[in-house]
Chain A
Amino acid sequence: MPLLSCITTTFEDGALLRTSIRSLQAQGFDDFEMIVVDDGADSATRAVIEEIHDPRLRGIRQANAGLSSARNTGLAQARGDYVCFLDADDSRPPWAFETIAGIIARDDPDLILCRGALGELRGAPQPFYDTPRFEEIAAHCPEGVLGPDTPDAAFLRALALMLEPQSANKVVRRTLVTGAGLRFPDTHFFEDIFFHAGAVTTAGRIAFAQTPCFAYFRRYGRPQITAGSGARRFDIVAVTRMTLETFARTPAFADPLQRAAVFCACMKLLTWCGEMIGHADRPHFHQLTRAMVRLVDPLYLQFPDTAFETLSVPDPVRIRVRELAHAC
């Protein structure tokens, strides 16, 4: 069994799919398998898959069931000790797997959270959005591993919860995935926060890779699923709800800071989606958000004001949270 399974799902990516595959083939570390889930892909994309002759590639074909379900299919097929994800049009720098393998050998973590790089629309390469948080984590956790005995463990977990939920930034021990039932919420987009919160909450040992191990690209080349303005954005409301409901069943829920972290991490996504959604759907989106907050545990709205400062919650999110607390 390989050390790593890297799951890529593809739908209508066409030639863009080569971006991820090539970056994996260029890795300086070999002990991995690439699982490509053809999620009802179009013929151009299928042609790209068929041109790849690499014994490490395992193709799985399914009818289009959506990104989350396709990732779950990949999880069910993975054989590596650890699993990770890479979207079809994203990439990993050549040192990524070697870095990850080094951390696994040294720290034996359940979860690795990695820094990343961002390819911006105008072509500028940058550190990924959550780099300042990684710096803050590094300052509080110089050894790079968060375990049960780490000082400030709850605070560090709260920071980890507030990292970008992005699927490519995680490497998860496969037995944790199966044991804790970690998965993506089927049929939903904006799925990452659910998996992210689940992984951070259930992992006993979390290691932080302070070296960029993935690159995320914003592109004009084709409409990105998460960039649209349509009703698909309603999904974030249900995903938030499921994330909060699931978290409410864990012991960490008793900690006001971690509770605030999960809630604010979700609210950040909701605030962003609320600004992007088309005007026709916007009142419905806000209505739905209010309904969602009423249906989850009311404790979520009760945390000390200092949590905003402690967790460096951005201003628009603070405003939104206060509005919701008032309206519900």
Chain B
Amino acid sequence: MPVERFLGRMRRGRDAAEMGAPTGPVPLHAFGQSLELPARVPRFLAEDSLWRLGTIYDPALSVRSLPRDGVAVDIGAGFGAFALPFARAFPGWTLWCFEPNPEFFAALERNIAAMGCENVVALNLAVGGDEAQADHARLAAALAARDAAALATLCPQRAYRRDTSKPGFVEAERRPAAGALGPGGSRYPTLPAGALATLEPTLLKLLAPGMEAAILEGLDDVPLDHVIGETWHHVPARLIYDTPGARETWLPVAGAPARALRRAPGTDDRREGLDIVVAMYNARDWIAECVESLTAADDPAIRVRVVDDGSTDGGGELVEERFAHELRVILHRKPNGGCASARNYGRLMSDATHVAFVDSDDVADRELFSQLLELARYTGAEVVQGGFDLLEQDAGGNWHSRPGPEAVDASAPPPNEPLSTMTLMAGTDLMTRQPTIWRRVYRRDFLDNRDIWFPEHIRAFDDLLFQLLSLQHAGEVPTLEHLRLHYRQHPGQDIRQGDERGFYALEMFRLALKRGLQEGWRRFTPLLRSYVNTIDWTYDGLRDDLKAPFLAAAAELWVLMEKALGPEAFGDFPDTVFVTEGFGEQANRVRRRLDGLEGSHAFAWLDSAMMHADILRHMPPRDTAPHPTEPG
């Protein structure tokens, strides 16, 4: 839903009297039809319906290929702004309209008569969730017989409230058991949605504030192919994804422009769901807690693929035994090839539409991945993410969570609106921070399309390139900060050891630079910013004897970037942005050597052996070789 139009609708700021004043005949254009509905309705209702028609229904049906005939159910039909152009455009379809408000229902009937649509059945009913006391057999019979009078008596009465500022807007009382009517409230006979099954509908148009989830629950065994509408409350995505029918869906959330429950027909045969790839190497002590945290939410859409990367501590056997009866945990074994290779291997084995990569010693909040998948299904985002904190051991050997350096104070949303605290973060902002790829869920088609993989030859920092590329292309990243991944800190953690592996960072940035040039990135500022942060941070932790060669290589890569990108890209980045002492001096040394050579993208291809940790590690130290001569 375009934000401006949405806000325009909300901010029109006319008073209730004006919005309640009746319109003249309502002209509308949708589904290839142009028609004028004669019944006069309140201005708010007319404008609201036309907005929805133009913004939701017309585009949603324009991107689909509806068959020539079928049965549609229109819940919240109003005066027929959807129903009548639909009935005209699809004469082979039968359309069942439900509208509880007697005034609008009268308008609907008048419009149907005026348009002469014989494929429309209109009933003056609300539709709601299933009620235990309802007589389903008789309801189904009355529905099939189109017996409005019988339906009115058979349907349970339910309480609704009106919104005085939006005439025509009727919302189900969320706690009908209370029974009391609010000011201006009404009771309407409400058809349990399950009764609609007898009509064998394939398309559902849903506009029933407060009733959306209950209605879809009631239809959870009906093979619907199409669901369109607007929702005022969170509808669990499983009601669309784990239910029969193709359920191609477009259900924007009212008041939340970035969210819409959606499902598009798959262009490949991927399983709709999330595979969490856990790369495991000698993590027997941690893996059970990790996997248990990932399966705790009991979400059938989520599978855990543990990739045993040639462990020698029996971690594979432990997973095999402990999760033998847990079908959602799958163990893959491969010869040792490093973390990147194990993550890629898990992805290659995965058949899911979404993928996440979690380290074998980390722990996730129970609902983290379940809600991230939910968020992915509500945003279609290439990347969605949760929050994280650090898991640290105290002197007594107990593990505690501690907020990380970028901790955000996030409160939990109300349980029935789990995505309401979602924020959007710019991928290019996230790019400049330390890699936290394990708190994210990625669309598999996005990663494949952008050719984003973990570089298998890199044995540390492999997630840096993945982070840079995925966030460069991700656009805005929907975020739920209150659900966290707990990242375990070990005293002897990889990158902190200060050995040659620090040099992998240089290789990562050169690869990212090359990609940026080949892919024509518009801005390199986030990449450069990230480079500055990473170099300062890495240098600081390096072993003393490696500091000088690292500084020389890092400064040289900086100059190569300058040659490849041109000086304009470096406006905000004089050499002095580096905290690391002596950086500028080293950079100038390289600049002097390259003096007089014009810039070219080709400089991104001129890496040195010093930028490759695996070559560097085996290089004889300089002093055994003749001393290199500096040019004069």
Contact = CB atoms under 8 A, between A and B. Distances in A.
Interface of A: 60-65, 68-69, 72-73, 76-77, 180-181, 183, 185-187, 231, 234-235, 237-238, 241-242, 245-246, 248-251, 253-254, 281, 283-285, 287-288, 290-292, 294-295, 297-299
Contacts of B335: 60, 77
B597 interface: yes
Contacts of A249: 619-622, 624-625
B455 A294 contact: no
A294 B628 contact: no
14 contacts: A62-B341, A63-B348, A65-B457, A68-B457, A76-B336, A186-B455, A231-B518, A237-B605, A248-B625, A253-B626, A287-B600, A287-B602, A294-B597, A295-B593
B351 to A, nearest CB: 14
Given A183-B614, A299-B626, A234 B605 contact: yes
A220 B33 CA distance: 57
Contacts of B608: 238, 241-242, 245, 295
Nearest to B590: A295
Interface in B608-632: 608-610, 612, 614-615, 617-622, 624-626, 628-629, 631
Contact of B605 (A180, A181, A235, A299): A235
A62 B344 contact: yes
Given A284-B600, A295-B594, 15 more contacts: A65-B456, A69-B456, A73-B456, A186-B614, A238-B605, A238-B608, A241-B608, A249-B620, A249-B624, A288-B602, A288-B605, A290-B597, A294-B594, A295-B556, A295-B593
A125 to B, nearest CB: 36
Contacts of B605: 231, 234-235, 237-238, 288
B223 interface: no
Q: Shortest 7 CB-CB distances between A and B: which pairs?
A: A181-B618, A234-B605, A63-B344, A186-B457, A284-B602, A242-B609, A288-B602
B603 interface: yes
A77 B310 CA distance: 11
A285 B606 CA distance: 10
Interface in B574-620: 590, 593-594, 597-598, 600-603, 605-610, 612, 614-615, 617-620
A234 B604 CA distance: 9
A185 B600 contact: no
Interface string B447-462: 0000001111110000
A64 B453 contact: yes
Nearest to B556: A295
B337 interface: yes
Do most interface residues of chain A lie in helix, strand or loop, or is the interface mixed? helix
A63 B456 contact: yes
B490 interface: no
B444 interface: no
Nearest to A188: B607
Nearest to B604: A234
A12 B518 CA distance: 22
Contacts of A250: 620, 625
B618 A69 contact: no
Do most interface residues of chain B lie in helix, strand or loop, or is the interface mixed? loop
A231 B603 CA distance: 11
A63 B453 contact: yes
Contacts of A235: 605
Nearest to B518: A231
A250 B619 CA distance: 9
B347 interface: yes
A251 B453 CA distance: 39
A251 B593 contact: no
B453 A65 contact: yes
A192 to B, nearest CB: 15
B270 interface: no
Contacts of B457: 65, 68-69, 72, 186-187
Given A61-B334, A73-B337, A181-B617, A245 B347 contact: no
A62 B617 CA distance: 24
Contacts of A292: 606
A298 B631 CA distance: 7
Contacts of A77: 335
B612 A185 contact: yes
Contacts of A245: 608-610
Contacts, number: 141
Interface residues of B, number: 50
B600 A246 contact: no
A150 B526 CA distance: 57
A187 B456 contact: no
Contacts of B453: 63-65
B345 interface: yes
A287 B453 CA distance: 31
B511 interface: yes
Nearest to A76: B337
A314 B305 CA distance: 56
A65 B625 contact: no
A238 B615 contact: no
A234 B507 CA distance: 16
Nearest to B517: A231
A237 B511 contact: no
A321 B622 CA distance: 26
B624 A251 contact: yes
B598 A287 contact: yes
B602 A63 contact: no
B456 A246 contact: no
A63 B277 CA distance: 15
Contact of B456 (A62, A231, A294): A62
Contacts of B336: 76
Nearest to A233: B605
A187 B609 contact: no
Contacts of B617: 181
A234 B603 CA distance: 9
B615 A288 contact: no
A197 to B, nearest CB: 12
B600 A248 contact: no
Contacts of A248: 625-626, 628
A62 B631 contact: no
A161 B457 CA distance: 27
A184 to B, nearest CB: 9
B614 A181 contact: yes
Contacts of A60: 334-335, 337
A180 B625 contact: no
B602 A281 contact: yes
Contact of A287 (B341, B597, B609, B620): B597
A62 B349 CA distance: 11
B606 A237 contact: yes
Contact of A291 (B337, B597, B612, B620): B597
B594 A291 contact: yes
A63 B631 CA distance: 43
Contact of B629 (A185, A281, A283, A298): A298
A234 B609 CA distance: 15
Interface in B289-316: none
Nearest to A246: B609
A241 B603 CA distance: 13
Contact of B603 (A183, A187, A288, A297): A288
Contact of B606 (A241, A281, A299): A241
Nearest to A290: B597
B151 to A, nearest CB: 56
Contacts of B615: 181, 183, 185, 242, 246
A223 to B, nearest CB: 18
A247 to B, nearest CB: 9
Contacts of A251: 624-625
A69 B347 CA distance: 19
B511 to A, nearest CB: 7
A254 B626 contact: yes
B164 to A, nearest CB: 59
Interface string B499-537: 000000001000100000010000000000000000000
A235 B514 CA distance: 12
Interface in B325-368: 334-337, 341, 344-345, 347-348
